[in-house]
Amino acid sequence: MNLLKFLFVGIGLPVLVWFINRTVSRLLSRPRTHLARSGTPAPSSRLCSEEQIRDLEAQYRITLPKVCKRFLRGEYAGVYGLLTGSDIDYRYLSKLNGWAGELLEHSGSEFKLGAADFVFFMHQGHQFLYFSCTAGDVDPPVFEYRQGEKAPKRRFGSFSAWIAAVKEGEF
């Protein structure tokens, strides 16, 4: 009995504590990467049908790049699950440009979104991402605006670079 007690208390318990600490530390240091690789599907309420994508294009009088359409259809596994708390659902997409304009105005920014600009992401009402739907741009750069700034800044060289950053937990 004393030998078992010694093994558990002397060796077993410290090993168990070490293992738990190591596992928790790893999970906390890279939670987004873990989720992105799990392939968590987008909830169906967040996805857009082809008809809904056409409706957005008609509303804004733009042609969305193919990479954005693929994103809206949920073809990038795991991305939607990493954007919890952000407005990216179809039900918001028709309103985001207006909300972004209000945020710019309330922040005192003189910047105005252009007719070809498409806001596809807003977070908690104080930050948004957009790109310009210019003719022939298949993978446009992504710009970010944060409340209180004078103007948006180019954040990602392309829409697919933004997707990669989300998957890697860098956004």
Q: 114: exposed, middle or buried (C-beta count within 10 Å: 0-12, 13-18, 19+)?
A: exposed
From CA 94, how far away is CA 66, in angstroms rounded?
18
Please compute Rg for the chain using Cα positions: 22
Place of tokens 């009402």: 125
What is the reported pLDDT for 41?
Answer: 44
What is the reported pLDDT for 15?
Answer: 56
What is the reported pLDDT for 48?
Answer: 82
Domain extent listing, the chain: 2-36, 38-167
CATH architecture classification, 38-167:
3-Layer(aba) Sandwich (3.40)
From CA 135, how far away is CA 157, in angstroms rounded?
17
Q: Are 32 and 169 in contact (CB under 8 A)?
A: yes
For the chain, which residues score pLDDT lower than 70? 1-46, 76-87, 135-136
Residue 131, beta-bridge partner list: 118
Q: Indicate the pTM of the whole model.
A: 0.69
What is the reported pLDDT for 125?
Answer: 86
What is the reported pLDDT for 38?
Answer: 39
For residue 140, how many other CB atoms are within 10 A of its CB? Answer: 23
